[in-house]
Amino acid sequence: MTIQWFPGHMAKARREVTEKLKLVDIIFELVDARIPYSSRNPMIDEIIQHKPRLVLLNKADMADREVTKEWMNFFAEKGIKSLAINSQAGEGMKTITTASQEILKDKFDRLKAKGVKPRAIRAMIVGIPNVGKSTLINRLAKKNIAKTGNTPGVTKSQQWIKVGKEMELLDTPGILWPKFEDQEVGMKLAITGAIKDTLLNLHDLTIYSLKYLERFYPERLKDRYKLTELPEDAVALFDHIGRLRGCLMGGGMVDYDKVAELVIREFRSEKFGPISLEKPSDF
């Protein structure tokens, strides 16, 4: 689902998350492991205030493992615990409960000391569109979607999902808007599918992807398109790929639109292997 964000939608999204915050002990901030900076909501700190949080670097299977480690260190330095997960395959699911228990240990110990009966940790997922919120909820839910009725004060359909004995998760995630701050962030969001590519020029997107590969993963680019040397400019590279892959118009001219579509499709379907599009040192 791709949402067009207008100020009214943003205000509503913020209000909904703020409302649900009161019901939970911890927020799971879901980001795309390939773009942990660009896929964060720009106002997340302001919205969730001091609520304990766990950053989940989702789609870690598509990101560069070494770079993901750098991001985990980056968050740790800010005092934020993060985990690399793959919701689609269900990898890292157990670690979410364990990490939440660690983060909330003091709070729950205090409650226990006051004689409050132990209860499950209550959590909710927030993140920008397409980051994997529904996939994660389904993974964690397994068959345990609790039909415990509605929670007062929340949307009628709101339910808690049991995640083992230790945790309960709100079944609807908080959907927040992505950053719109600059073109580069926009490129990364479009490449990873968080915003529609029709909002950007497909050729710009392709050139951005190719330049990125050229800079950080040159061998993969050469391997994929049977290049011995990297061409001097984008046009030469487009020509080479077009001829190699038969993206031609009548008369044998290279069809640049087709080349652009092909490269983006291959980039998104991991034909170049797992790739991270940003590092903590970029910021």
Taking a C-beta distance cutoff of 8 angstroms, is the pair 45, 53 a contact? no
Tell me whether strands 160-163 and 167-170 are parallel, antiparallel or unpaired. antiparallel
Binds ligand GTP by CB under 6 A, chosen from 97, 130, 206, 276: 130
- Applying CB under 6 A, which of residues 20, 40, 133, 224 lies at the interface with ligand GTP? 133
Tell me, residue by residue from 82 to 111, as one string, x for binding to ligand GTP by CB under 6 A and - for no binding.
----xxx-----------------------
Q: Out of 129, 178, 186, 242, which residue is the one contacting ligand GTP (CB under 6 A)?
A: 129
Query: 39 vs 207, which CB is nearer to ligand GTP?
Result: 39
Integer CA distances (angstroms), 235 to 58, 127, 198, 219, in order: 35, 37, 22, 19
Exposed, middle or buried, 66 (CB in 10 Å: 0-12/13-18/19+)?
exposed
* Residue 269 CB contacts under 8 Å (≥ 6 apart), including other chains: none
> Which of residues 36 and 129 has its CB atom nearest to ligand GTP in the complex?
129
Mode of pairing for the β-strands spanning 121-127 and 167-170: parallel
User: Is 179 among the residues that bind ligand GTP (CB under 6 A)?
Assistant: no
> CA Rg, the chain, in Å?
22
Identify the residue among 35, 44, 175, 207 touching ligand GTP (CB under 6 A): 175
Give the number of other Cβ atoms within 10 Å of residue 110's Cβ. Answer: 10
Task: Please tell me whether residue 81 adopts helix, strand or coil conformation.
Answer: strand
Q: Which window, 11-19, 45-53, 127-135, 248-256, contacts ligand GTP (CB under 6 A)?
A: 127-135
Q: Name the minimum Å distance from CB 259 to ligand GTP.
A: 25
From the list 53-61, 98-106, 211-219, 224-232, the region that binds ligand GTP by CB under 6 A is: 53-61
CA atoms within 13 A on the CB side of 154: 21
Establish if 39 lies at the interface with ligand GTP (CB under 6 A).
no
62 interacts with ligand GTP by CB under 6 A:
yes
Does 1 participate in binding ligand GTP (rule CB under 6 A)?
yes
Q: Report which residue type is found at 268.
A: R
Q: Which amino acid is present at 228?
A: T
Nearer to ligand GTP, 136 or 237 (CB): 136
Nearest distance, CB of residue 281 and ligand GTP, angstroms:
24
Q: Helix H segments across the chain?
A: 7-21, 44-48, 65-77, 93-113, 133-141, 183-191, 202-216, 218-224, 234-245, 256-268
Options 64-72, 115-123, 128-136, 211-219: segment touching ligand GTP (CB under 6 A): 128-136
Q: For ligand GTP, which residue of 134, 151, 158, 201 counts as binding (CB under 6 A)?
A: 134
Integer Cα distance of 211 and 231 in angstroms = 11
Could you list the residues that contact ligand GTP (CB under 6 A)? 1, 58-59, 61-62, 86-88, 127, 129-135, 175
